């Protein structure tokens, strides 16, 4: 039953992506769009792919830095491979990659899945902060141009939210009541819960995950960690701008347009569909319209940028998966808490 639900979820998300792509393409002049794609300068496209590779390596090293304070020291190459396999998995089923990459690292370096997952949660939180920073900078630089776009994008959602505000408040109170009831029952029967095997496993999982989440505060070289974070996002921005030069329709766009594409493209990639397909293309096309790029040119840019980076993830992900499977699995090792206990006993 669980497997059937996963298949249905996958098919539903794939259907949503296909519907969005159909909507984005249905009114376009394909001859004009194909003419734009035929005139692609692949040198600039190649430069953007190299930037993508460098950004992935930097992200892998940053993840390696996050894992060190937890007491585990996986090789940077293994963190890179696990990360790329995770990105590949996200193309199949959104958000599945976060668990897959931690499972790969468990196999190669014996890093507990819950600890690795905690570091991934922290990584996603940092990415959210960087996206908010990018949105803030974009609004300051391109406010007059993108204001109407964002207002039109979110006005319908806000209108619906106001209409259902009473239902939202009711749902919030119900959830708060259930949380309070769960807390009361948990405290009342805490002694019994502690003897329950599943509860013990849940507590162990949460401790490991929190250890990963708060690993950022224990990183020795904070300057290098945040430097990698900034570098990765600068690469994302540069990749957006470089692809402008690959096509006649976008070759005259400004660096401010690159900021707008970075923001809306990141929002599109964050959508819960495979690889942001459809959502990314619609948002980028609509954004480039604000800069005078025709629909066909905007869609050609979106197809070129998205498809090239997706193929890069597929190639690197498949190679990383093969290499990880060929690598000998890491033997079980004592966890950091156990090692500390052993050292203490030896001193005694």
From first to last of the 348 residues of the chain, give the pLDDT tens digit: 555 555 555 566 556 656 656 555 666 666 777 777 788 899 999 999 999 999 999 999 999 999 988 888 899 999 999 999 999 988 887 778 888 999 999 989 988 888 888 888 888 889 999 999 998 888 888 777 766 666 665 555 455 545 554 555 566 677 778 878 777 776 766 666 666 666 556 666 566 556 656 677 788 888 999 999 999 999 999 999 999 999 888 988 988 899 999 998 888 888 777 777 778 888 898 889 888 888 888 888 998 999 999 999 999 999 999 998 888 776 655 444 444 433 443 344
The rounded distance, in Å, linking the Cα atoms of 127 and 148 is 26
* Helix or strand run (H / E) with residue 120: helix 113-163
The rounded distance, in Å, linking the Cα atoms of 79 and 133 is 27
| Among candidate residues 105, 100, 72, the one with its CA nearest the CA of residue 330 | 105
The rounded distance, in Å, linking the Cα atoms of 260 and 258 is 5
pTM over 0.85: no
What pLDDT is attached to residue 49? 95
Residue 115 neighbours by CB under 8 Å, 6+ apart = 67, 70, 72, 208, 209, 211, 212
The rounded distance, in Å, linking the Cα atoms of 232 and 147 is 27
């Amino acid at each position: 039953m669980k497997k059937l639900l996963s298949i249905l979820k996958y098919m539903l998300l794939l259907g949503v992506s296909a519907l969005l792509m159909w909507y984005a393409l249905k009114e376009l002049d394909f001859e004009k769009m194909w003419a734009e794609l035929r005139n692609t300068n692949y040198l600039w496209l190649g430069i953007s792919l190299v930037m993508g590779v460098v950004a992935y390596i930097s992200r892998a090293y940053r993840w390696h830095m996050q894992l060190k304070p937890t007491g585990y020291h996986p090789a940077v190459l293994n963190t890179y491979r696990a990360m790329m396999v995770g990105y590949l998995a996200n193309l199949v089923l959104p958000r599945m990659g976060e668990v897959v990459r931690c499972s790969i690292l468990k196999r190669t370096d014996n890093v507990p899945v819950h600890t690795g997952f905690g570091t991934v949660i922290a990584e996603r939180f940092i990415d959210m902060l960087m996206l908010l920073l990018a949105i803030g900078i974009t609004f300051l630089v391109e406010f007059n141009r993108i204001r109407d776009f964002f207002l039109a994008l979110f006005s319908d959602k806000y209108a619906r939210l106001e209409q259902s505000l009473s239902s939202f408040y009711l749902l919030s109170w119900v959830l708060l009541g259930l949380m309070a009831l769960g807390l009361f029952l948990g405290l009342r029967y805490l002694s019994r819960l502690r003897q329950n095997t599943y509860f013990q496993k849940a507590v162990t999982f949460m401790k490991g995950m929190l250890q990963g989440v708060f690993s950022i505060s224990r990183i020795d070289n904070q300057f290098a960690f945040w430097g990698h974070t900034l570098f990765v996002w600068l690469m994302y921005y540069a990749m957006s701008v470089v692809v402008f030069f690959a096509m006649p329709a976008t070759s005259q766009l400004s660096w401010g347009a690159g900021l707008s594409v970075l923001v809306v493209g990141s929002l599109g990639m964050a959508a819960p569909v495979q690889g942001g397909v459809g959502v990314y293309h619609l948002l980028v096309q609509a954004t480039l319209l604000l800069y005078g790029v025709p629909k066909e040119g905007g869609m050609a840019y979106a197809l070129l940028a998205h498809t090239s980076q997706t193929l890069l993830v597929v190639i690197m992900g498949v190679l990383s998966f093969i290499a990880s499977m060929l690598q000998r699995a890491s033997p079980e090792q004592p966890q950091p808490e156990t090692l500390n206990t052993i050292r203490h006993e030896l001193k005694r």
